[in-house]
Amino acid sequence: MNTTAESNPTTGPWLVVGLGNPGDQYAGTRHNIGHMVVDELASRRGERWSRHKAGAAIVETRLRPGTPKIILAKPASYMNLSGKPVSALVRFFSLTPEHLIVVHDELDIDFDTIRLKRGGGEGGHNGLKSISQSLGTRDYVRVRAGIGRPPGRMDVADYVLRPFGTTERKELPLHLDRCADAVESLIEDGMAAAQNRFH
* Active site members: 31
Give the up-direction half-sphere exposure of residue 2: CA atoms within 13 A in the CB hemisphere.
Answer: 6
14 in Cβ contact with 99 (< 8 Å):
yes
Q: Which residues are paired to 71 by β-bridges?
A: 15, 60
**Is the separation of the CB atoms in 52 and 72 below 8 Å?**
no
Phi, psi of 95 (to 5 degrees): -100, 160
Query: Is residue 57 helix, strand or coil?
Result: strand
Question: 104-142: string of b/e by CB count within 10 Å (b at 16+)?
Answer: bbbbebebbbbbbebeeebeebbbbbbbbebbeebebbb
Beta carbons of 45 and 61 less than 8 angstroms apart: yes
